[in-house]
A and B are shown apart, each in its own frame.
Chain A
Amino acid sequence: MSIIQDFQSPILPTWCPGCGDFAVWSALKQAFVQEGLGPTDVVLCFDIGCNSNMADKINAYVFKGLHGRVIPIAEGISLANSSIPIIAISGDGGTYDEGMQHFVHTIRSNYDITLILHNNCDFGLTTGQATPTTPIGQKMNGAVYGVVESRLNPTQLALTLGASFVAKAFTGNIPQLVSLIRASMKHKGFSYLEVLQHCPTYNSFQDHKWIAEKVYDVNTLPDYKNNDLRSAMDITDYSKEKIATGIIFEDQNSVDYLTRVPYRTGVSTLLKDEVKQYPIAEITKEFV
């Protein structure tokens, strides 16, 4: 059993007051404790951005990589050691811009990792530029006449790519966030958890109150089935007045990458424990 204090780092957060990152930071630790996981039982992978400044504010095994590249780092770790929960953390800038290809292909491959994506619709750390989720027309640093690109709908993108787990949370509802992190970790395959959050410094167009008034939990819908792709696509359309949170879609029959690899069928060891000298005589004799 672990307690919240086990995850306490001596380094204190540096986020702006009111930043949604505090909520994710807190919810992560709660989720680990509720799952009975200690600091050596998880690997946290971080990107670059305000969200990933969490890297040294949490006491656990951590890899902090490059901007946009957290997904392939997490993938590599999961291939080498699939026995440990691997959580990748990034933001809307890093993953939807710089690292979009990784997002697309990790969904196709269905590695057994969790992506917690902080979506605050702007770049914070580089002082308020637009990301793919900034609304069209919004004036931003570097887009003083307003954003001219259409707004990306990452939830629908993930759904159309065949994601096996798509969930959405809001930093104003920590108990729900904690339960969704736990559900993400339990899902076999790639879990995509998008966390809507306010950027108090650079996002005045969709602030905490605005999001709070828009969100609702899919569990409150009378007949919502989260294994139905059409329903999932329907409720996540930007034309909807309200924003759905909770588990939007989950494929209960999801088969993760390592299980799909035919030549690893029946292999119970981990790649990390397989480093040794391998015989080559059977191979070299083919060349004689």
Chain B
Amino acid sequence: MSHSRRNFLKNSSVFALGANVLRPQSAFAESTEPLFPDGYPDRSEIIRAAIDSAITAGATYADARLSHQEVLAGVRVTNIVRKEHMAFGVRALYQGYWGFASSPVWSKDEAARLGLAAVAQAKANVLGRDRITELAPQSEMSSGHWEMPVRIDPFKIHPDEIADFWGGIMSYVQTLKFIANSSHTYSFWRTNKAFGSSLNQFTTQVLYRADGGIGFGLEDKSRQAKSGAGVEEISAAGQGFEYFRERPIREYIRKAHEEALHDLTLPVKPVDVGRFNLLINSAGVAGALHPSIGVATEVDRVFGFEANAGGTSYITEPETMLGSLKLGSSILNVTADRSAPGSIGRVKWDDEGIEPIKYDVVQDGILANLQTNIEGASWIKDHYQRTGQELRSFGCSYAPTALDVQMSHNADLSIKPANNSDNQDSLRVTLSDGLELRAPWVQLDFQQITGLMQGGVMYEIKQGKRVARFTNAGVLFRTPELWSNLTHLGGSESVRYYGLSSEKGQPSQSSTSGVFTPPALFKEMTIIDVKRKA
């Protein structure tokens, strides 16, 4: 570590003094931090004990996190799952090497043990060769408490009320025409997080997650036709029970059902392979954006830290590609943001105490930034220097619980909509001869460069109307070609939100982040029959 600013932290007594100077005790006294859970020690105390322990043992930087997570999930009306999870994780930097130790025990004794263990893990690697680890500075010391605003805390109402709500919704589904099967899942998460570091940060936050899905299948026995639909308006969001209760779920179901009913009337044909203009709905665009632009710009993936796990990225030379790599047509603008209300990745501070900011990932079709944490940002410091930007982490650090070490994950992404009033229906009308793809499943290779969209429903479009459904259709693409073939985007009214998950790391950890996107029109996409062998 090269920051001299941090050297004074080696001395724990100085650290304690610094704590008083930089973050007055009164800030805690006045904070609204809940005493949580009952009977457990003050979180700031055990976090400080862990950091003291690590710094005393020789760490040049240390951070500690506590997480308390509750999950309430339902699969069927009578099957309600409840989970509670607590974790304590300490990370320490020693001569450039990272050590991490975690456990489920919240106590001062455990804090001391974890602090020592984290340093011992790091120290074991000091065997003669240097590892240069620089950490991007933070513009200000962060402290405070934040709660994600939700209108109905699902953990403050009886689980039966939630189950009854879903019972009603699914009863409504059963009343609809030609329903052959239906399913739903839901879960609510409440995570209390506390973070502290040897930079005198101490933050606590309460995050919520509402997650759900409704799907149904239709069968018209007289026509021997089948179709299916899912409610695309619900996925995973940073909201409470209001995400379901205060939204017109029945209306969403009715719309999806109407579409599925219409599907039953369309003939089913084997797919025409070749090149076609293709309209993809918001769910499909989100599914393609998340891995091809989101995961691909995770800084650790770009630099090969995930090579043995999820893979690498097509951004092979970040220093020269940032600001010059053409990723798409000039109408493609992607921003990342972890403060969008209602989205799943929303936080006040990331898991390194950084307050995330909104930034461009793709600007006018050109790669603008990577998704960074404090270590990853320093790997591209030359880029920041050259372009006159401030060296900083964008706040992408995340870990599912404190049991897992924090890593750089996808932020919530938005595609800038067109400045018009186009939507899925009006874009379809512009297609005289083409295809339309609804809610496909998108898979990219381990370098996020070639991919395949399959599943969902593929329609044949003639004169702006759906005239048939294709079976076994797939869209084969290369990431830069996909986004370069983007010709039209829907307007701001057509933007929808989706929460999507990805996995990384060893041991593996998953994160969910949101995508806000309109539907989009792509030219000359390669359509294949996914079942056809060579």
Real complex partners, A and B? Answer: no
Residues of A participating in the B interface, judged by any CB pair closer than 8 Å: none
Residues of B participating in the A interface, judged by any CB pair closer than 8 Å: none
